[in-house]
């Protein structure tokens, strides 16, 4: 070994020994450890929104029958979505569970996502996030690219999932061309708890009240000023229809109330007689199928679902609505539900 190499080795060993000795003498209490970033505290308004979301449909999307796999997760749990997932040959097209089977079928191209790893439709899907805090603007997170897409309207955002992507995946809401034209989704639906009924909305809250009113409240109504005394927002509510027809008198459309007398039958259109009838049953403008749900005893609109191996009817709320109503859709001769053909008989 040369003299230079010997000297270098001695210097290296000396430094190493000094480092070892200094580490042994360090007081553990004085050791500085890296600290974790504090968990962001939600602003009060977002804390309230989060609690509202926890009780909504968007927070509970895990359903074996609907396929909690990484293909269906594109909409049911976007953070679990794998854009490279493929549809396998039948009978295991995707990972899902049939009602008549105890265990789910597992598709190789669509591995089953376990419930504990399922993310639902959380804040981070529709908002850029700073820790747990959501940006107030909405945007769509595309997991296939890792970037957010800026959305111009709430409808554009909702239609990332509510669209017709396959022949048998019909999730788009058709608005029709008569009422609600130009409305965005969030004008009727709270984005964090999307469930809504016409009667619970701020636009048609008077309908829910009218269903419990007695006949006496409308006896003697002969002038629109009497209507507006109880329904001050009536003209604004029907502003689009008024523009379309040019009509200014409430009683031209609501003529039943104009002729109501002490001995007349109670109005049945929005009365308690139809309390279990969804608004879209009467106001559907797309001629959807009508049915009575046995469990809830509610009347709903239905659409036919056509899957590769089965066909069935499923509740599907019509968004294509009309102000005109055809009572004969339900009240026809020898109808399957035993309803009277003459709708006024309901008031007896």
- The per-residue pLDDT string of the chain (348 residues; one tens digit each, 9 = 90 and over) reads 566 556 655 665 666 565 555 555 544 454 544 555 455 577 788 888 899 899 899 999 999 988 899 988 999 999 999 999 998 988 888 898 888 888 999 999 999 999 999 999 999 999 999 888 888 888 999 999 999 999 999 999 999 988 877 666 677 788 888 888 888 888 888 888 888 777 666 677 666 555 544 456 666 777 888 888 877 777 776 766 676 667 778 877 776 566 655 555 445 667 666 778 888 888 998 888 888 887 778 888 888 777 666 777 788 888 999 888 888 888 888 988 888 887 655 544
The predicted structure's pLDDT at residue 279: 85
Q: How many domains does the chain have?
A: 1
CA distances from 259 to 117, 228, 229, 238, 316 (A): 62, 17, 18, 22, 36
- Expressed as residue numbers, the domain containing 89 is 46-170
Please check whether residue 57 lies inside any domain of the structure. yes
Please check whether residue 253 lies inside any domain of the structure. no
> Parallel, antiparallel, or unpaired: how do β-strands 147-150 and 164-166 relate?
unpaired
Handedness of CA 210, 214, 215, 216 (dihedral sign): negative
**Separation of alpha carbons 184 and 175, rounded Å:** 10
Q: Is 189 left (phi over 0), alpha (psi -120 to 50) or beta?
A: beta
Give the DSSP H/E element, type plus range, for residue 255.
helix 255-258
Please check whether residue 161 lies inside any domain of the structure. yes
Q: How many CA atoms lie within 13 A of 267 on its CB side?
A: 23
Please check whether residue 334 lies inside any domain of the structure. no
Please check whether residue 140 lies inside any domain of the structure. yes
Please check whether residue 165 lies inside any domain of the structure. yes
**Separation of alpha carbons 237 and 324, rounded Å:** 15
CA distances from 64 to 73, 81, 103, 115, 165 (A): 12, 16, 10, 9, 20
The two most distant CA atoms of the chain are separated, in Å, by: 125
Please check whether residue 26 lies inside any domain of the structure. no
Long-range CB contacts (within 8 A, 24+) of 25-28: none
Please check whether residue 104 lies inside any domain of the structure. yes
**Separation of alpha carbons 279 and 282, rounded Å:** 6
Instruction: Return the closest-CA partner of residue 277 out of 258, 290, 262, 265.
Output: 290
**Separation of alpha carbons 96 and 66, rounded Å:** 6
**Separation of alpha carbons 72 and 157, rounded Å:** 18
The predicted structure's pLDDT at residue 340: 83
In degrees, rounded to 5, the angle at the alpha carbon of residue 193 between the alpha carbons of residues 191 and 199 is: 100
- H, E, C per residue of 287-305: CCEEEEECCCCEEEEEEEE
**Separation of alpha carbons 117 and 62, rounded Å:** 10
Give the DSSP H/E element, type plus range, for residue 149.
strand 147-150
The predicted structure's pLDDT at residue 61: 93
The predicted structure's pLDDT at residue 308: 63
Q: Can you read off the two tokens belonging to residue 344? A: 């006024």
Q: How far apart are the first and last CA of the chain?
A: 117
At 6 the three-state DSSP class reads helix
**Separation of alpha carbons 75 and 87, rounded Å:** 16
Q: Taking a C-beta distance cutoff of 8 angstroms, is the pair 315, 293 a contact?
A: yes
Give the DSSP H/E element, type plus range, for residue 20.
helix 3-25
Q: Taking a C-beta distance cutoff of 8 angstroms, is the pair 285, 322 a contact?
A: yes
């Amino acid at each position: 070994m040369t003299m230079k190499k010997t000297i270098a080795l001695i210097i290296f060993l000396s430094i190493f020994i000094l480092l070892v000795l200094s580490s042994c003498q360090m007081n553990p209490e004085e050791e500085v450890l890296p600290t974790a970033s504090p968990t962001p505290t939600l602003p009060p308004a977002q804390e309230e929104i989060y609690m509202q979301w926890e009780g909504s449909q968007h927070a509970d999307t895990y359903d074996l029958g609907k396929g909690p796999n990484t293909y269906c997760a594109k909409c049911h749990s976007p953070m679990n979505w794998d854009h490279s997932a493929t549809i396998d040959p039948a009978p295991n097209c995707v990972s899902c569970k049939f009602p008549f089977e105890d265990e789910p079928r597992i598709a190789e191209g669509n591995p089953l996502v376990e419930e504990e790893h399922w993310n639902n439709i959380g804040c981070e899907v529709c908002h850029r996030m700073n820790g747990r805090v959501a940006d107030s603007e909405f945007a769509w997170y595309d997991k296939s690219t890792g970037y957010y897409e800026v959305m111009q309207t709430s409808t554009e955002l909702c239609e990332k999932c509510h669209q017709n992507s396959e022949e048998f995946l019909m999730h788009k809401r058709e608005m029709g061309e008569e009422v609600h034209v130009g409305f965005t989704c969030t004008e009727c639906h709270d984005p964090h708890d999307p469930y809504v009924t016409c009667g619970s909305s701020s636009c048609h809250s008077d309908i829910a009240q009218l269903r419990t009113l007695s006949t006496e409240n409308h006896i003697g109504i002969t002038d629109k000023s009497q209507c507006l005394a109880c329904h001050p927002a009536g003209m604004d509510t029907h502003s689009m229809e008024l523009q379309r027809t040019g009509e200014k008198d409430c009683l031209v459309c609501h003529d039943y109330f104009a002729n109501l007398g002490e001995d007349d039958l109670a109005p049945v259109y929005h009365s308690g007689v139809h309390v279990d009838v969804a608004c879209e049953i009467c106001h559907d403008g797309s001629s959807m199928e009508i049915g009575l749900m046995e469990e809830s005893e509610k009347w709903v609109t239905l659409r036919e679902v056509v899957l590769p191996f089965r066909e069935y009817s499923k509740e599907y709320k019509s968004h294509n609505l009309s102000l005109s109503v055809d009572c004969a859709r339900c009240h026809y001769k020898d109808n399957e539900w035993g309803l009277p053909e003459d709708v006024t008989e309901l008031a007896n």
